[in-house]
Structure 1
Amino acid sequence: MPTKDVLTKADLAELRRSALGAADPLGVAADVAEAAEQGRLEDPDDAGDALTLAAEIAEIRARPDAALRYADQALAAYPSGDDPRAGLAHALRARVLFRAGGRDDEAMAELTALRPLLLVQSDAPAYLSAALDAGGRSATAETWLSEAVDTLLGERAAAGAAAQAITATDPVVDLGPPEAPGVLFFLLQQRHRVRRDLNLPHDRQDDLADRLETQLVRRAGERRGAESDLLFWPRAEFDRLLSEHAALTEVYGPDWDAHRARLEKELVRQTSAGQTGLGVFSATVAGLNAFAGRRNGDPADAAIRAGYAAEVSARPSARIPWPPERNDACWCGSGLKYKKDCLPRSRS
């Protein structure tokens, strides 16, 4: 719970990371909103972001009245009506309107106005598709994402920079630096997830999404020697993994506790970036070895692991939703409550 007289950007970032695991998340939301309303933010321009955080917490905790109130206050607090930071608040407002019943037209108006952001804002694909899904419009999300991808690829082709990206077996697309890939990458990845949820057949753009993910992971691996993925190795599988592929200690952690902590922190980071509907994907050493064998590659190679991660994440049965409720069984399968096991690991 916020206790400081003045909240800094760092305080808001910490609350975004930890609020849902607090004993009283709605109390955190109320306190953050109060700080914004009373001018107790170090940077007054953070008022919109603080109120959006309050709206997000209230929406997740099924308090639609509070979520709608905070979202409206957030939108009023942004310096201008077209402030790009306001997109998430609009999307949250639309989600509440969908769930309120009888206000679908209002919700769609909110989201339709945000649609151009798909071409310029890397987090827009995630929050727009999440809002459309809340309204039972995942097919609309797929259409919007597909048309945005076509637009960006068309612009690149017209500029003479992406003809190879459209036709080549191994496309070359400018992703930006490994830690900050471009808008096209996020569009393709979100479209890929939406199509998988809709059980649509794999198409050329899905192939491109897989290849770009592999390319990005390879580059990140070259830069850092390891990459963050959401493969989860249950305890017995983790022990076998390090026994057979000791080099992967640097990637997945020196022990199972460290492995679970890395995943928990990565999930919290993605939540802070606006991602929704997160989960981990249960992996097996036999599966990784088989995938590497089919590709004639080394299981320890970053590109092979990225390909295996993509294969596993396409199986609904492998997905473990995150986060559980504080008092529910932990996602890692330890048998302990989440609040007693992996939740505190994100803070270590």
Structure 2
Amino acid sequence: MSLKTDLTSADLNEIRRSALGAADPLGVAAELADAVDAGRLADQADAGYALALAAEIAESRAKFDAALRYVDRAVEAYGTRDDSETGAARALRARILFQTGHDDEAMAELEPLRPLLTRYPDASAYLSSALDIGKRARLAEQWLTEAVQSTLAERDSAEPANAEDAGQLFFLLQQRHRIRHAIGLPHDNHDNLAERLETRLANATAAEAATEHELVFFPQAEFERLRAKWPAATAYGESFDEHRAHLETELVRLAGAGRVGLAVLPGALDGLTGDPAEAKTRAAYARQLAASSRRISWPPERNAACWCGSGNKYKKCCLPRSRG
């Protein structure tokens, strides 16, 4: 297999997904190393990632000598970076060392990585995996437990206040629960917290998805067509003024709740399948629009054209509608 020139990060991600199913995965690993050597990466900062990927492929085929060569180069490419990607490469090196009987070297690689557990959620996955492969699952459980306790102590709260912190802590708790289940340890208070956070995050995701239909925007001509075809479907508003006023109000509310990157999702009657009076139809259509790249960023500048397409300045069009 010959890889293309100027491999991007997206190309490397796709290779990660497909390489093990290739006819010659070890050839793919060699090609990745050659791409680094020949300067065939679109971004040379991806050299560590490409070499770590080559090491993973070789490891999966039990070619540990080649895997170790690749991962040593990956760690060297990352240099003095102190981030999760570097930690993942070093944990991979430890994993390979465990599998070749170099346990002391593996532990010397892992011990300095422990602080990453409280800084990067994904560190809990690759560190616990490495320790598990090294038959140190109980040590993994100890490290994860201490990381959970440290995280909770730093935040001085029994449960995180915002969704981002909740998500990071849940990832850590989830890995801890996986290890504890594997070694037969009983359910404890941290496992109970994991369950509460899982429910909370699921509800937050559902609530966010539920608001997507509130952000579907039909330009005036499309809105009039919609109302003519489905006069009883008033969920998007009785009139175009009501439709855009509702959208502006919802956008202001979401911004006040801390949401960023807000946009309205332009809709069209031809793309709407089913009766919009039904919530499931509106939700499905919102998901369809959210998956596309068509969106109108919000808010515009006060003196810029309004997002609704009226041609008027935002400050004299939809900006005041949320105050009505």
TM-score computed with the length of structure 2 as normaliser: 0.62
Quick one: distance in 2 between partners of 1:3 and 1:58? 17
Q: How many residues are matched?
A: 214
Contact conserved, 1:119 with 1:152, CA < 8 A, in 2?
A: yes
2:186 paired with 1:201: yes
Cα deviation 1:88-134 (Å, max 9, x = unaligned):
11111111111111x11110011101111001011100000000000
Contact map agreement 1:118 1:125 (CA 8 A) in 2:
yes
Q: Superposed, which structure 2 residues align to 1:1-348 within 5 Å?
A: 1-101=1-101, 103-157=102-156, 162-163=157-158, 165=159, 173-176=161-164, 182-224=167-209
The alignment partner of 2:164 has SS state of coil
Q: 1:115 to 1:2 in 2, by over 3 A?
A: farther
Give me the whole-angstrom Cα distance separating, in 1, the residues matched to 2:39 and 2:60. Answer: 25
Give, as a single letter, the amino acid of the residue that structure 1 aligns with 2:115: P
Distance change (3 Å), C-alpha of 1:124 and 1:41: same
**Distance in 2 (alpha carbons) for counterparts of 1:203 and 1:213:** 16
CA distance in 1, matches of 2:87, 2:29: 19
State the shift of 1:59 in Å. Answer: 1.3
Whole-Å separation in 2 of the counterparts to 1:182 and 1:156: 14
SS of the aligned residue for 1:176 comes to helix
Contact 1:49 1:74 in 2 (8 A): yes
Paired amino acid for 1:202: H
Aligned mates of 2:13, 2:192 — CA distance in 1: 35
Which structure's relative contact order is higher, taking Cα pairs within 8 Å and 6+ residues apart?
1
Say if 1:118 and 1:2 are closer, same or farther in 2 by CA, change over 3 A. farther
Q: Counterparts of 2:173 and 2:206 in 1: how far apart (Å)? A: 21
Question: Deviation of residue 84 (structure 1)?
Answer: 3.7
Q: Percent identity?
A: 58
Tell me how far apart the structure 1 counterparts of residues 192 and 149 of structure 2 sit (CA, whole Å).
Answer: 14
Q: Which moved more, 1:79-88 or 1:142-151?
A: 79-88
- Given that 2:84 and 2:123 are in contact with CA atoms closer than 8 Å, whether structure 1 keeps it comes out as no
Query: What letter is aligned with 1:153?
Result: L
User: In structure 2, what is the Cα distance between the partners aligned to 1:223 and 1:17?
Assistant: 29
Instruction: State whether residues 75 and 81 of structure 1, in contact with CA within 8 Å, keep that contact through their aligned partners in structure 2.
Output: no
Residue of structure 2 equivalent to 1:242: none
Root-mean-square deviation (CA), in Å?
Answer: 2.1
Which is greater in Rg?
2
In the TM superposition, residue 83 of structure 1 has moved relative to its aligned partner by: 4.5
Q: Shift of residue 67 of structure 1?
A: 0.9
2:54–2:70 CA contact under 8 A, matched in 1: yes
One-letter amino acid matched to 1:104: D
Judged with a 3 Å threshold, the aligned counterparts in structure 2 of structure 1 residues 106 and 79 are, in CA distance, closer, same or farther, namely: closer
Q: Give the distance between the partners of 1:133 and 1:204, measured in 2 at CA.
A: 23
- 5+ residue gaps, structure 1, are 166-171, 226-246, 252-348
Q: Do the aligned residues in 2 keep the contact of 1:59 with 1:92 (CA within 8 Å)? A: no
Contact 2:167–2:201, Cα closer than 8 Å, also in 1: no
TM-score, normalised with respect to structure 1: 0.58
Alpha-carbon distance, 1:175 to partner: 3.0
Residue aligned with 1:121, SS? coil
Q: Distance in 2 between matches of 1:62 and 1:47?
A: 23
One-letter code of the match for 1:210? Answer: E
Deviation at 1:183, TM superposition (A): 2.7
- Give ranges in structure 2 of 5+ residues lacking alignment: 211-279, 285-324
- The one-letter amino acid of 1:85's match is E
